[in-house]
């Protein structure tokens, strides 16, 4: 309910204008690792020093012009170069609408394949984030195409709130498949997504267990410690090798939990977004947790 209200309000032009003006000073900086690539690389370096790897995201989504999509693609090629040259331990995460998918499927496809080719040259990896449900089918299709070209260098995200996801997981499972499993962050109708959080949580655990059982590399991306506890129990009881899964969290959220998992010898990764275009990303983080809105309101009153 809270999530629906925040995601709905955030689309209002007055709210958007005010938030864009003050949001960075009032809380968005907690979730965003700077405006530029060099700043982001420095953040990655200090995260790596704590035994945690990174997936780097250049903020932005749903471009409106082809030139913006080309710039977005070039920024990802530059990120892969910078990661390689600096020697930090990081891969990249991208959104296909930022690559032009919403303008023209062929454009999104071409840009994705170019980025995955480059990642393969560096023996690095591209994670395709999952966006809202109109893009689910085409995202999975383009993932499969990129995976056929470079099986070791690309993976996709599956969202536990969608009814379809268990079928997708079963259909897509196979050698060298690499899935990040998340609960899902967009506003979705009840016709496609579980409305109840308890159902999403249950489906999340079922998906992780199914993915591990089928031998896929599985990124368990959640801050939910109850779920992390259940996954730890499952991998212990089923002798799942530690190199078959990792835990992932978002920059600015519960880092101490991730650090403690890293100290216990589990593979861990932080999703680090950077760039100027932080609005939509920040709104989804606020929608996930009422306390983030209180944090924002307190900062506003303190001014």
Ligand X SMILES: Cc1cc2nc3c(=O)[nH]c(=O)nc-3n(C[C@H](O)[C@H](O)[C@H](O)COP(=O)(O)OP(=O)(O)OC[C@H]3O[C@@H](n4cnc5c(N)ncnc54)[C@H](O)[C@@H]3O)c2cc1C
Instruction: Select from 9, 253, 280, 293 the one that contacts ligand X (CB under 6 A).
Output: 253
271 contacts ligand X (rule: CB under 6 A): yes
223 contacts ligand X (rule: CB under 6 A): yes
Candidate ranges 42-50, 83-91, 141-149, 282-290; the one touching ligand X (CB under 6 A): 282-290
Strands 268-274 and 53-58: parallel
Are the beta carbons of 56 and 90 closer than 8 angstroms? yes
Q: Cβ 67 to ligand X, closest distance in Å? A: 25
289 contacts ligand X (rule: CB under 6 A): yes
DSSP string, 47-109: HHTTT-EEEEEE-----SSHHHHHHHHHHHHHHHHHHHHHT--EEEEE-TTTTTTTT-HHHHH
Instruction: Identify the active-site residue in 109, 127, 180, 285.
Output: 180
Residue with smaller CB distance to ligand X, 4 or 81? 4
222 contacts ligand X (rule: CB under 6 A): yes
How far CA 72 is from CA of 140, 144, 155, in Å, comes to: 20, 22, 19
Beta bridge partners of 181: 158, 220
Helix (H, G, I), strand (E, B) or coil at 271: strand
b/e map 134-160, b = 16+ CB within 10 Å: ebbeebbebbeebbeebeebbbbbbbb
Candidate ranges 96-104, 176-184, 235-243, 272-280; the one touching ligand X (CB under 6 A): 176-184
Active site residue 30: no
Residue with smaller CB distance to ligand X, 239 or 256? 256
Q: Cβ 123 to ligand X, closest distance in Å? A: 22
Active site residue 180: yes
What's the number of CA atoms in the CB half-sphere (13 Å) around residue 300? Answer: 12
184 contacts ligand X (rule: CB under 6 A): yes
Q: Cβ 158 to ligand X, closest distance in Å? A: 9
Active site residues: 129, 180
Residues that bind ligand X (CB under 6 A): 129-130, 157, 159, 182-186, 221-224, 248-250, 253, 271, 285, 288-289, 292
């Amino acid at each position: 309910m809270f999530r629906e209200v925040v995601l709905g309000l955030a689309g209002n032009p007055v709210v958007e204008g005010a938030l864009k003006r003050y949001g960075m000073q009032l809380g968005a900086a907690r979730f965003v690792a700077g405006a530029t690539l060099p700043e982001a690389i420095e953040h990655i370096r200090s995260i790596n020093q704590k035994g945690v790897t990174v997936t780097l995201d250049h903020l932005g989504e749903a471009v409106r012009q082809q030139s913006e999509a080309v710039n977005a693609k070039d920024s990802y090629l530059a990120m892969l170069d910078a990661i390689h040259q600096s020697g930090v331990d990081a891969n990249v995460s991208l959104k296909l609408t930022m690559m032009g998918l919403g303008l023209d499927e062929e454009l999104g496809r071409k840009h994705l394949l170019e980025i995955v080719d480059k990642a393969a040259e560096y023996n690095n990896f591209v994670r395709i984030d999952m966006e809202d449900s109109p893009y689910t089918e085409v995202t999975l299709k383009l993932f499969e195409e990129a995976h056929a070209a470079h099986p070791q260098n690309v993976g996709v995200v599956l969202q536990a709130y969608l009814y379809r996801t268990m079928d997708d997981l079963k259909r897509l499972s196979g050698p060298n498949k690499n899935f990040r499993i998340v609960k899902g962050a967009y506003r979705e109708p009840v016709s496609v997504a579980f409305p109840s959080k308890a159902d999403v949580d249950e489906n999340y655990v079922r998906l992780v267990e199914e993915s591990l059982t089928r031998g896929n590399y599985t990124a368990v991306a959640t801050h939910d410690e109850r779920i992390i506890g259940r996954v730890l129990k499952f991998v212990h009881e089923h002798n799942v090798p530690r190199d078959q899964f990792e835990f992932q969290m978002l920059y600015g959220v519960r880092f101490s939990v991730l650090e403690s998992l890293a100290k216990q010898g589990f593979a861990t990764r932080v999703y680090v977004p950077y760039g100027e275009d932080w609005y939509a990303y920040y709104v989804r983080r606020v929608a996930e947790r009422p306390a983030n809105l209180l944090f924002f309101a307190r900062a506003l009153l303190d001014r």
